[in-house]
Amino acid sequence: MRRTPLCRSRRPLLAALVATGLLGALAGPPETGPDAMETTAADANTATVFYYTKTKNWSSTYLHYAPDGGAWTTVPGTRMEAACTDWVKKTVDLGSAAGLAATFNNGGGTWDNNGGADYALGTGNITVKDGVIAHSDPCAGTEPAEGNKATVYYSTATTGWTTANIHYAPTGGTWTASPGVGMEAACTGWWKKTLDLGTATSLKAAFNNGNGVWDNNNSADYALTSGTSTVKDRTVTANAKDPCAAAEPDTEAPTAPTKVTANATNTSVVLSWDAATDNTGVTKYQVTRTGGTKGTVVTDIGSTVFSDTGLEERTPYTYTVKAVDAAGNTSPASAAATATTGDKAPDPASGTPLGTDPRKDPIYFVLTARFNDGDSSNNRGGSQHTKSGNAANNDPMFRGDFKGLVDKLDYVKALGFSALWVTPVVLNRSDYDYHGYHGYDFYQVDPRLESAGASYQDLINAAHAKGMKIYQDVVYNHSSRWGAKGLFTPTVYGVRDSQWSWYYDERNEGFEYDGLTVEPKSGKAFYNGDLWSTAEPSGNTCLNWGKPTGGKSAEGYTLYNCQWPSPTSGMFPKTLYHQCWIGNWEGEDARSCWLHEDLADFNTENTTVQNYLIGAYDKYIDMGVDGFRVDTAVHIPRVTWNRRFLPAIQERVTQKFGAEAAKNFFVFGEVAAFVNDKWNRGSVNHSAQFYTWKERKEYSADDEAAALEQFTYENDQGTGNQPTSTNAFLNGNSYHTPDHSRFSGMNIIDMRMHMNFGDAQNAYGNGKDSDDSVNDATYNVVYVDSHDYGPNKSSERYTGGTDAWAENMALMWTFRGIPTLYYGSEIEFQKGKKIDCGPSCPLATTGRAYYGDHLAGSVTASGFGTVGSASGEVANTLAQPLVKHVQRLNQIRRAVPALQTGQYSTEGISGSMAFKRRYTSGSTDSFALVTVTGAATYTGIPNGTYKDAVTGDVRTVSNGTLSVGAPGKGNLRVYVLNGPGKIGADGPYLK
């Protein structure tokens, strides 16, 4: 999971920034320079200089002067102001001087200096017109000219600045002295400044916080005009409305919801209705339930479907619904709907993992909450719903769910994938937790993902029924910032005064947070009343409890100590959580400090923590998942994995399902290394392949001591003394039984190929280079981009083009390793879009956008990689060129065992991406010659009949040599010894 803090915006974090001096309430600097020293014409020796501009056509005019016997002003001088039509003026104080020498310029290097002689001027009113000096007031009896004005509003809502300056230059004029002039606070999140442009009608501008942080429109500066303009998130709106103007009060109530229906299944009732209408829009619905022993219950929800679960058996319940708008106007109640519950449903039976070799199963990776919405009643927007822009798109962060996945398993199967990697399923807790990596209750599946008849267990069972595996993303390294329920949850300072009552919920002793259920007092599902306390709790260890930090939030609210979890505040017990921030990402502290404020770092060397996590993940093993994708694996010492967590996984699977299932329970770790060298900046402890090996010496019995000993020992061994393996390589043309005796139990995501997939050839070369240091690279999980990064650590989804995608896929599906596709890549979904920007932008604009619109309709798979029937928008999706490409690649890979589990070699082969693969076991002997894109020649190969799986071409080899012409980008050839011939039908690339 991506950990960069740059994309997350958290108001209370400002407390920490202020406290450390990183962010302060900086006042805009006073204007300085010659203008600041000018006086009015009240003194005796003054000169009011009028200058004629009609023949100059300058947008700005400056007076550069020196009183007789005095010093000259700093170039370009002082700016003159509009006087009347065609004239500008400036009044200057001469002190005791009886006159002045003067020149004029436009502030941009064009001068009028009287032909090099300068102008000799006296006191009083003086005019200079086309070189002629006179004593008069040319504007007497005329209306004074009004200079052009620009009123600029600048938004700091997403930057968190506590002050703002505007640094500007009128068109044709000079820039203000850096950092510019201070802007005034206008309203929450907005700063304002009215500027005099003189005769100019436009300006260039940049903004800064007075402390060295700039917004200069990505070095292009902002182009603004006279009148009122707004600048928000790098978007300029000219002739804008005042963003701080008070809106007209909304007094109109929504209409009453209609067509309310209630249907009971076991002890659940699903209520639905037609949406109400409103002049400004309905923001929520109030559902009132009567019946049963609990009496009247009112629940607020954001959709037009409500799933009411856990009711009493054989009991009638009556429901009415009201609509509420943003102003709090409430509609009349709807007509009542009644349903009677039945008997409680039996608990679902546990699943059983499929237990087959994971290398046979290409992986499709989904963010469950963003894939497909099968049940809108569990949709939740969270506290950032409006701020993020998701509300404006009607796109709550928790939108997809298990029901949506169950409904579209046939889509995934029709693509040809037989394994589904889902993001973490445990109950999360943070302001923006849809992705699953902010775990709070590791023993509970997040209710925002489940529905009646579509629990997590139901998803596992449904996938298995279709021959598809479920790989669950798991997190051992950290919990949410609110700790882990059942282990430790911090109490933080939460004053509910006039400033903070919007954020801190009133405590409700009878309510328990589950992310889904709306707390009655606050009317929110993201209730936090159980976390906050104004009174210092017994046993508090947080430093300076409740004392003001001296800083302010973005809204100008007082910030207090202990409002926000931090590893250095004393808020977390050191036995259970680490107490530091990472300083060196290749140092030991990368394994024992916090990554980010939302990720409270477990002390994984503590037995209590280990037991908590092992017990939690045993639950999901028992449910029958087929493997774990391990998040942030590199941030836990390898010796801890090898001693505790990996053996615990093997023991539990063996205990529940047997040794063969345990052997094929697939664990693959995210050992994030974002460099192109074989060993991560020379640090073996932070290199992906390092985690595939067992320990080679004994360390102290204490896990914390052992972690330090292992780090030092392996670092001292260096990169040249690490174990090597031939498990991925053929011996000539022969397959050999791999030696897994030193295998740790953790396979890896191929970060090196991932980082180089901007070009398939680079990915191929880099991948091969690391394979001898991986225990068995045929198990590497290979992908181009993901929910975190694109190639070369790009923060955007891959945008190399359709041909390049086809070439990358052709390589992934034939080279060693397990091909993996991030959802939507089969149609280049959101290509080039920023993958993640936290709540600072709408999800719809990112690489984590909702995909379900492309899946609307129905689809039935007739097999892996084949469509039985499809209708609606999903049929159009399945018709896209890369879909056809990946379907056929999956068909070919499934038909050729060498491409699934074979070892490989490039010996005796010429060609840029050309290799041979073989797998031999019992009666199976599969030998394949592969070339991607380019021509290749294979020498020293077994004689016999070779058939190309792409074209059906047949070659008879009698001299150990076979030559293949270049198939072209995105295409490939797979000549299989005694093979089946052509597999599948020609498509846009494979032909």
Out of 162-171, 406-415, 859-868, pick the least confident: 162-171
SS3 category, 460: helix
Instruction: Report the C-alpha gap between 107 and 59 in whole angstroms.
Output: 9
Q: State the pLDDT confidence band at 271, using cuts at 50, 70 and 90.
A: confident
Q: State the pLDDT confidence band at 515, using cuts at 50, 70 and 90.
A: very high
CB 918 within 8 A of CB 732: no
CB 412 within 8 A of CB 364: yes
Q: What angle do CA 746, 752, 753 make, to 5 degrees?
A: 105
Residue 863's nearest CA partner among 905, 827, 894 is 894
User: How does pLDDT run across 220-241, given as a tens digit for each residue?
Assistant: 899 999 999 999 988 899 999 8
Q: How many CB atoms lie within 10 A of CB 964?
A: 22
Instruction: Report the C-alpha gap between 557 and 503 in whole angstroms.
Output: 12
SS3 category, 69: coil
* Order of all β-strands in the sheet with 235-237: 184-187, 190-198, 148-155, 227-232, 235-237
Instruction: Report the C-alpha gap between 123 and 459 in whole angstroms.
Output: 91
Q: How far is CA 450 from CA 57, 375, 795, in A?
A: 70, 9, 31
Cα–chain center distance at 223: 30
Averaged pLDDT for residues 417-442: 97
SS3 category, 184: strand
Pull the structure tokens for residue 711.
């780090």
Q: How many CB atoms lie within 10 A of CB 110?
A: 11
Q: What is the DSSP letter of 266?
A: T
Averaged pLDDT for residues 71-93: 90
444: left (phi over 0), alpha (psi -120 to 50) or beta: beta
pTM higher than 0.85 for the full model?
no
User: How does pLDDT run across 775-829, given as a tens digit for each residue?
Assistant: 999 999 999 999 999 999 999 999 999 999 999 999 999 999 999 999 999 999 9
Instruction: Report the C-alpha gap between 715 and 684 in whole angstroms.
Output: 6
Which ranges of 419-484 would DSSP assign to H, the alpha helix? 456-465
Instruction: Report the C-alpha gap between 436 and 432 in whole angstroms.
Output: 9
Residue 971's nearest CA partner among 809, 764, 782 is 809
CB 972 within 8 A of CB 950: yes
Pull the structure tokens for residue 844.
């719809």
Examine the pLDDT at 35 and tell me if it is beyond 60. Answer: no
Instruction: Report the C-alpha gap between 176 and 203 in whole angstroms.
Output: 12
Pull the structure tokens for residue 351.
């699943």
SS3 category, 456: helix
Q: State the pLDDT confidence band at 161, using cuts at 50, 70 and 90.
A: confident
User: How does pLDDT run across 596-637, given as a tens digit for each residue?
Assistant: 888 999 999 999 999 999 999 999 999 999 999 999 999 999
Q: Indicate the burial class of 924 (C-beta count within 10 angstroms; 0-12, 13-18, 19 or more).
A: exposed
Question: What angle do the packed helices 881-895 and 802-812 form, to 10 degrees?
Answer: 10
Q: How far is CA 566 from CA 304, 385, 600, 729, in A?
A: 39, 25, 8, 48
User: How does pLDDT run across 952-982, given as a tens digit for each residue?
Assistant: 999 999 999 999 999 999 999 999 999 999 9
Instruction: Report the C-alpha gap between 762 and 897 in whole angstroms.
Output: 26
- Bridge partners, residue 445, by sequence: 426
Residue indicated by tokens 């009128």: 170
Which ranges of 623-645 would DSSP assign to H, the alpha helix? 638-640
Out of 33-47, 185-199, 263-277, 455-469, pick the least confident: 33-47
Residues whose CB is less than 8 angstroms from the CB of residue 204 and which lie 6 or more positions away in sequence, other chains included: 168, 169, 171, 175, 221, 222, 223, 224
Instruction: Report the C-alpha gap between 486 and 483 in whole angstroms.
Output: 9
User: How does pLDDT run across 174-220, given as a tens digit for each residue?
Assistant: 888 888 889 999 998 899 999 988 888 899 999 999 888 899 988 88
What is the separation, in whole angstroms, between the first and last Cα of the chain? 38
